[in-house]
């Protein structure tokens, strides 16, 4: 097992002689005692500005070389040509600099990364698709285990299953399963990582009929903190199998996942857009309409701007049963009031899955707040309406609602680590803007919108949508399953080696350094 990191206060001298003090946990930094407080020496990467302090690794050069030689995938250090691209994640608010990035080519590389990080007491982050809004895929000064080149996938059309490596994005995953007319629940933006989404739960267009992404997982290969590759399924390590389905990356690095697939290639889907001023009536109508939705239909909607800047209240839907049934079921929604545009119709499943991609390009600043609603009461609708078309940024989706129902909500809370099976509406304030100078304004507005809704929200949140982190929020993420998850963490990761995630703190660890 790894020991915990050292916490140190260091004085850093840059090459112009300026001094600054940094505090943190980083056993990789080289400190040399002098007659002053500790001085950090940077022999190779001279510090050139206070905004980009380069802290060199204290890892012995020979160890790094040995690791690089034995690693089949690419390894990157500060200064290497691909280093900056590899550490960049879609949320532009995240700017972290790992000491080493290891692009893994398979489970053997992942095992080597875990052993190397243990040996040298390195903080580890794991990158799947890189879409964690809180930026958990990338760490400062530690080892970033980059799975994004692990894209192996094999569909078994006869068994209707797929085994997929965990560097795949949703769009890549869907493309392969669709080649056989098969699909399973994933999220609704194709650039998001299949693994990060699934390990946290995985809500999407098919959840009403087929459950969440985790409800379709049959088996997982997991590299644990003690450097073993374990299979987790209903018969092998069933406790770990329970934990990986909703426990985020807390129990290890998942190198591949096997899913159950379902026959599906076409859907009746799209969206209907109403003027923002009609939001209140639309919300009242949608509440009643959604309550009668068959499992085949999933809807979501809220306030946002069309690409030409027109503010709308839009509702998107996907019906995954027969097309003609979908047309009938969706007619009341499409004919209600006076929509600006009706973009529903028969679509291939891949078209449906790609519908939102253009709204979420990489490189925007992103901040989110989200909790489930107790109910979508008249009073909650009144408050939601006050915030429609009020965001300071034209790229924001807020207020926004997802309707959760059907198969995903019929799974008992204790069947998987994911506890949120009982709520019908998930509230989101998903703010996006271009310029870092506008961050405070946008974050403030997002919090205000969420605060205004607070009395209608339950203290339960879907971890995959959460930016702010704390132990209290982790308890909200894991709800009724939290204590069982802590016990599992104590068993599989008692030193909190895997902590760059929606973290479950073990209770047996010597106080582990926070990520």
Does the footprint of ligand FAD cover residue 136 (CB under 6 A)?
yes
Residue among 274, 289, 360, 478 that touches ligand FAD (CB under 6 A) = 360
Part of the chain binding ligand FAD (CB under 6 A), chosen from 23-31, 121-129, 314-322, 444-452: 121-129
222 touches 255 (CB < 8 A): yes
Q: Which is nearer to ligand FAD, 90 or 326 (CB)?
A: 90
Residues 27 to 86 in contact with ligand FAD, rule: CB under 6 A: none
Least distance in angstroms from the C-beta of 223 to ligand FAD: 8
Least distance in angstroms from the C-beta of 290 to ligand FAD: 17
Does the footprint of ligand FAD cover residue 2 (CB under 6 A)?
no
Does the footprint of ligand FAD cover residue 500 (CB under 6 A)?
yes
Does the footprint of ligand FAD cover residue 189 (CB under 6 A)?
yes
Part of the chain binding ligand FAD (CB under 6 A), chosen from 100-108, 111-119, 133-141, 268-276: 133-141
Least distance in angstroms from the C-beta of 195 to ligand FAD: 4
Does the footprint of ligand FAD cover residue 110 (CB under 6 A)?
no
Residue among 56, 78, 190, 193 that touches ligand FAD (CB under 6 A) = 193
Least distance in angstroms from the C-beta of 387 to ligand FAD: 20
Residue among 168, 183, 188, 206 that touches ligand FAD (CB under 6 A) = 188
Least distance in angstroms from the C-beta of 315 to ligand FAD: 15
Least distance in angstroms from the C-beta of 114 to ligand FAD: 11
Peptide bond into 399 cis (omega under 30): yes
User: How crowded is residue 470: how many other Cβ atoms within 10 Å of its Cβ?
Assistant: 10
Does the footprint of ligand FAD cover residue 122 (CB under 6 A)?
no
Part of the chain binding ligand FAD (CB under 6 A), chosen from 3-11, 119-127, 263-271, 276-284: 119-127
Which residues are registered as beta bridge partners of 298? 318
Does the footprint of ligand FAD cover residue 187 (CB under 6 A)?
yes
Does the footprint of ligand FAD cover residue 404 (CB under 6 A)?
no
Distance in Å from the first CA to the final CA of the chain = 18
**What order of strands is seen across the sheet that includes strand 143-146?**
75-76, 100-103, 143-146, 124-127
**CA 101 vs CA 2, 225, 333, 490, 495: distances in Å:** 19, 18, 49, 28, 22
Residue among 73, 142, 171, 202 that touches ligand FAD (CB under 6 A) = 202
**CA 515 vs CA 26, 174, 256, 472, 503: distances in Å:** 11, 33, 25, 16, 9
Binding characters for ligand FAD, 364-393, by CB under 6 A (x = yes): ------------------------------
Does the footprint of ligand FAD cover residue 142 (CB under 6 A)?
no
**CA 433 vs CA 92, 199, 398: distances in Å:** 10, 28, 13
Q: Which is nearer to ligand FAD, 28 or 125 (CB)?
A: 125
285 touches 197 (CB < 8 A): no
**CA 113 vs CA 94, 126, 184, 494: distances in Å:** 23, 11, 31, 19
Part of the chain binding ligand FAD (CB under 6 A), chosen from 3-11, 199-207, 415-423, 450-458: 199-207
Q: What is the DSSP letter of 56?
A: P
Least distance in angstroms from the C-beta of 20 to ligand FAD: 29
Binding characters for ligand FAD, 235-264, by CB under 6 A (x = yes): -------------xx---xx----------
**Closest CA relative to residue 102, chosen from 130, 123, 72, 122:** 72
Part of the chain binding ligand FAD (CB under 6 A), chosen from 2-10, 182-190, 337-345, 469-477: 182-190
Residue among 131, 245, 287, 403 that touches ligand FAD (CB under 6 A) = 131
Least distance in angstroms from the C-beta of 204 to ligand FAD: 5
Does the footprint of ligand FAD cover residue 204 (CB under 6 A)?
yes
Does the footprint of ligand FAD cover residue 171 (CB under 6 A)?
no
Least distance in angstroms from the C-beta of 509 to ligand FAD: 18
Residue 288 parent element (H or E): helix 279-291
Does the footprint of ligand FAD cover residue 318 (CB under 6 A)?
no
Which pair of tokens denotes residue 42? Answer: 């940077």
**CA 159 vs CA 115, 148, 154, 354: distances in Å:** 36, 27, 12, 27
272 touches 334 (CB < 8 A): yes
**Closest CA relative to residue 222, chosen from 186, 198, 202:** 198
For the residues of 258-273, what is the DSSP string, one character each? Answer: EEE-EE-SEEEEEEEE
Which pair of tokens denotes residue 44? Answer: 């190779």
Does the footprint of ligand FAD cover residue 133 (CB under 6 A)?
yes
Contacts of 208 (CB under 8 A, 6+ apart): 293, 294, 295, 296, 297, 298, 405, 406, 407, 408
Distance CA 62, CA 481 (A): 44
Contact positions vs ligand FAD (CB under 6 A): 125-133, 136-137, 147, 166, 187-189, 192-193, 195-197, 199-204, 248-249, 253-254, 360, 464-465, 500-501
């Amino acid at each position: 097992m790894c020991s915990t990191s050292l916490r140190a206060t260091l004085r850093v001298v840059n090459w112009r002689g300026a001094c600054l003090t940094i505090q943190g946990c980083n056993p990789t930094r080289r400190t040399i005692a002098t007659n002053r407080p500790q001085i950090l020496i940077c022999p190779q990467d001279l510090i050139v500005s206070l905004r980009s302090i380069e802290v060199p690794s204290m890892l012995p050069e020979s160890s790094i070389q040995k690791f690089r030689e034995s690693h089949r995938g690419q390894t990157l250090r500060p200064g290497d040509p691909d280093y900056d691209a590899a550490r960049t994640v879609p949320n532009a608010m995240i700017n972290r600099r790992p000491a080493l990035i290891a692009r893994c080519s398979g489970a053997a590389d992942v095992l080597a990364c875990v052993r190397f990080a243990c040996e040298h007491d390195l903080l580890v982050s794991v990158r799947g698709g890189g879409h964690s809004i809180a930026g958990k895929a990338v760490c400062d000064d530690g080892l970033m285990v980059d799975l994004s080149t692990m894209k192996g996938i094999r569909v078994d059309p006869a068994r209707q299953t797929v085994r997929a490596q965990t560097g795949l994005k949703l769009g890549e995953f869907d493309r392969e399963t669709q080649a056989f007319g098969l699909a399973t629940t994933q999220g609704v933006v194709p650039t998001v990582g299949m693994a990060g989404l699934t390990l946290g739960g995985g809500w999407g267009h098919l959840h009403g009929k087929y459950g969440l992404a985790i409800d379709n997982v049959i088996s997982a290969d997991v590299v644990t903190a003690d450097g073993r590759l374990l299979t987790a399924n209903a018969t092998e390590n069933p406790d770990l199998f329970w934990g990986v389905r909703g426990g985020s990356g807390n129990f290890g690095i998942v190198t591949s996942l096997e899913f159950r697939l379902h026959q599906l290639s076409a859907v009746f889907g799209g969206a209907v857009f109403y003027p923002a001023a009609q939001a209140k009536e639309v919300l009242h109508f949608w509440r009643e309409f959604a309550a009668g939705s068959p499992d085949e239909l999933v809807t979501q909607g809220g306030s946002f701007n069309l690409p030409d800047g027109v503010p709308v209240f839009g509702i998107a839907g996907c019906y995954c049963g027969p097309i003609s049934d979908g047309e009938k079921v969706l007619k009341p929604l499409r004919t209600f009031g006076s929509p600006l545009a009706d973009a529903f119709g028969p679509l291939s499943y891949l078209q449906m899955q790609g519908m939102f991609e253009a709204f979420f390009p990489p490189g925007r600043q992103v901040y989110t707040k989200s909790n489930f609603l107790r109910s979508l009461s008249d009073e909650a609708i009144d408050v939601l309406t006050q915030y429609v078309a009020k965001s300071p940024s034209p790229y924001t989706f807020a207020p926004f609602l997802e309707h959760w129902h059907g198969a995903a909500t019929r799974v008992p809370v204790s069947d998987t680590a994911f506890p949120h099976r009982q709520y019908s509406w998930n509230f989101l304030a998903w703010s996006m803007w271009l310029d870092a100078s506008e961050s405070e304004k946008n974050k403030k507005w997002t919090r205000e919108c969420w605060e205004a809704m607070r009395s209608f929200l339950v203290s339960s949140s879907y971890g995959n949508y959460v930016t702010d982190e704390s132990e209290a929020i982790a308890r909200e993420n894991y709800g009724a399953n939290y204590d069982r998850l802590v016990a599992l963490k104590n068993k599989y990761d008692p030193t909190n080696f895997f902590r760059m995630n929606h973290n479950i703190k073990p209770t047996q660890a010597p106080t582990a350094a926070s990520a």
